[in-house]
Every structure is written in C-alpha cells, then in structure tokens.
Amino acid sequence: MRIVSGIQPTGSLHLGNYLGAIRNWARMQDSMEQGSECLFFLADLHAISMPHDPAELRAATLEMTAALVACGIDPNRSILFNQAQVPAHAEMQWLLNGTARMGWLNRMTQFKDKSGKNREGASVALFTYPVLQAADVLLYQATHVPVGEDQKQHLELARDIAQKFNNDFCPDDAPVFTLPDPIIPPEAARIMSLRDGTMKMSKSDPSDMSRINLSDHPDEVMKKVKKAKTDPEPLPSEVEGLAGRAEALNLVAIYAALSDRTVADVLAEYGGQGFGVFKPALGELMVETLRPITERFNALLRDREALDAILARGAARARAIAEPTLAATYEALGLVRG
C-alpha cells in the first residue's frame, strides 16, 4: 500500500479538514504494515492558483506542518513535505498536460465554483490544478488517497489520466502508473458550514463563524456551536427525519464523526431532544477532542527550525521515491533526459 494525500496551506486547519481527511491520514499511518508507506504534503504549488500573499503562504506552510503533526502525523513514520521542495511534482504536471483533455478539465466543478462569474480572469493554474493533483499521486504510485468528498472528482480525473497514459504510451504488461483509489470517511465525507448547511465548511468562507478552527479557544468553539444555524424542531429519532434539515443533519454528523458513532446511533440517544440540549453536548465533545491537538499545535509553532527540518527531511525522502516514476514517464514519452 502507498498512501498519498495533500492539503493546501491556506488559512488554518478546520474541523472539515480534520474529520474529512487528516484524522484518516493519522489512522492509516497508525495501521500501516511493514513495507507500506504514507506520504503527506502541503500543496503549496496549488495555493498559487488563487491570489495570495507570498509572506502569508510561507507562514501558512509552516503552520499547516505544525497542525498536521499536532493531529498525529508522525514525521518519523510518514513522509511529510511541501510540494515546492520536490520539483518532480511540477515536472510531472507538465508531462501529464499532454495526456489530460480540455473537455475533462472543463467538467471540474471546483474550477467552476472557484472561478465563479470571472472565468476569463481566473488563473491558468486554477484550470490545470487537477492535473497537478494527478501528478501528486501518480508520481508516487499511490494506491490509496484519503480525502473528503469534494476531492473525489479530482481523483477520478487522476485515474482517467493514468489510464490514458498507460494505454497510449506503455506496453500492456508494463504500465507506468498505478490507478489510485479514494478513501472517503462515511460520516464525515462533507462537513458543512455552521451558518449554512448547504455550503461546505471551508477555509475561504469569509465568515469565521462558519467553521471551527483547530486554533480556536474553547470559549470560541462553544460560542460558534451555540450560534450555529438550526431549525426549531427537536432532533428526530430516525435518520429519515433529518431529510430536508441540512443544518440539523450537519451537527449530528459532526457529533457522530467526533465520537466514532453512526448518525443513527447518535439519534437513538438524542432523538426528541431540542438543540438547547444537543448543542452544549456537541460543543463539549468538540472542545475535548480538539484540546490536546490545539495544545500540541501551539507548542510546535514555537520551534520554527524544527518544522523546517521536518519538511527538508520529508522532501529528500519524497524526491527519492518520485525519481524512478518520473524517469519512466520521460522515457515512455520519448523525451531524452540526459
């Protein structure tokens, strides 16, 4: 097994990232067998697809490194690095640009969402972003990619690119690329905004009340949960009763994910109760889950040099793993590399 996944170092890590992806990274790392490997990276090259401030990107890259370690990513067991220190990512993207089709990229919903009404003004990087993401996983022969639901389409594209490349340029018995499988957690696939149950919880939402950040103080967490949008009805006892109640479903799903239970199980306990009872219970659970992570995060941030060293070491290991696949890709395309 080779597990590969990434996160953009923009803004701070929020509960959606944690429950949708990072907690799974840590769990997969902890259950790895001998001979398997985990590579986790900061997608700093992806971050330049949107307007950004260079100083902020630099700071956010280190902060996100601290956040991942605080969430349980162990740089001795996993390979933790940032893309910019492994030039093979950018090289591989260019090589795959010859295989990716315009029509495929035109269908990507993230590009449509992020470019909005201003398509002409969007960066070319935002459009070709999914090809870099394909490069990220194909470069390492990833077998499994733990992500939230919103990344599924990008992973399907990575498979399409891999398949077309293997068909077009490789003998049947010697494909260059492995087709990766996404791993999406059932209860936390899509954690929604606390202000609007139809929008995903996101770093780019202008309202900080919409998300729980890993760095939030417990008082802040409690306040955000108590102010979270809900409806006046009590919680139902059955899952079907949450249909059409996006905000209620979201809060129950968060509770379920945090306590490693199913939504049905949580409803069996809280069915018939109002939000006056459920919200404080949810807030407490969040605070207790996040407390040790936040403490570790704050401690790690005090030693920037140690974080730099983690990334440098991870990048050296990643470069070595990437090299044979990069070489095979150049070779398959008939490019003379010297």
**Cβ–Cβ under 8 Å, residues 68 and 23:** no
**Cβ–Cβ under 8 Å, residues 37 and 2:** yes
Does residue 197 touch ligand TYM according to CB under 6 A? Answer: no
In the complex, the smallest distance separating the C-beta of residue 270 from ligand TYM, rounded to whole angstroms, is 22
**Cβ–Cβ under 8 Å, residues 65 and 80:** yes
In a 10 Å sphere around its CB, with 0-12 CB exposed, 13-18 middle and 19+ buried, how is residue 295 labelled? exposed
Q: Residues 139-158: x/- map of binding to ligand TYM (CB under 6 A)? A: ------x-xx-xx-------
Does residue 159 touch ligand TYM according to CB under 6 A? Answer: no
In a 10 Å sphere around its CB, with 0-12 CB exposed, 13-18 middle and 19+ buried, how is residue 152 labelled? middle
Does residue 210 touch ligand TYM according to CB under 6 A? Answer: no
Cβ closest to ligand TYM, residue 49 vs residue 329: 49
Give the C-alpha separation, 37 to 322, whole Å.
13
- For residue 250, count other CB atoms closer than 10 A to its CB: 24
Does residue 187 touch ligand TYM according to CB under 6 A? Answer: no
Does residue 43 touch ligand TYM according to CB under 6 A? Answer: yes
Give the C-alpha separation, 251 to 246, whole Å.
9
Does residue 17 touch ligand TYM according to CB under 6 A? Answer: yes
**Cβ–Cβ under 8 Å, residues 8 and 48:** no
Does residue 16 touch ligand TYM according to CB under 6 A? Answer: yes
Which position among 39, 191, 194, 300 is part of the footprint of ligand TYM (CB under 6 A)?
A: 191
Cβ closest to ligand TYM, residue 39 vs residue 242: 39
Does residue 6 touch ligand TYM according to CB under 6 A? Answer: yes
Cβ closest to ligand TYM, residue 10 vs residue 294: 10
Does residue 79 touch ligand TYM according to CB under 6 A? Answer: no
State which amino acid sits at residue 91: E
Name the catalytic one among 203, 223, 229, 279: 203
In the residue annotation, 203 being an active-site residue is answered as yes
Which position among 8, 128, 210, 250 is part of the footprint of ligand TYM (CB under 6 A)?
A: 8
Instruction: Give me the residue whose beta carbon is nearest to ligand TYM.
Output: 20
**Bridge-based pairing state of the strands 2-7 and 79-82:** unpaired
Give the C-alpha separation, 166 to 178, whole Å.
9
In the complex, the smallest distance separating the C-beta of residue 329 from ligand TYM, rounded to whole angstroms, is 17
State which amino acid sits at residue 59: A
Which position among 12, 65, 133, 141 is part of the footprint of ligand TYM (CB under 6 A)?
A: 133
Does residue 201 touch ligand TYM according to CB under 6 A? Answer: yes
Q: Which secondary-structure segment (H or E) carries 42?
A: strand 37-42
Q: How many residues bind ligand TYM (CB under 6 A)?
A: 23
How far is C-alpha 60 from the geometric centre of its chain's CA atoms? Answer: 15
Structure tokens at 170: 């490789």
Does residue 46 touch ligand TYM according to CB under 6 A? Answer: yes
Query: For residues 20-39, which are near ligand TYM according to CB under 6 A?
Result: 20-21
State which amino acid sits at residue 148: G
Please state at what angle helix 304-332 crosses helix 88-97, rounded to 10 degrees.
30
- Residues noted as catalytic: 114, 200, 203
Q: Which residues bind ligand TYM (CB under 6 A)?
A: 5-8, 16-17, 20-21, 43, 46, 133, 136-137, 145, 147-148, 150-151, 188, 190-191, 200-201
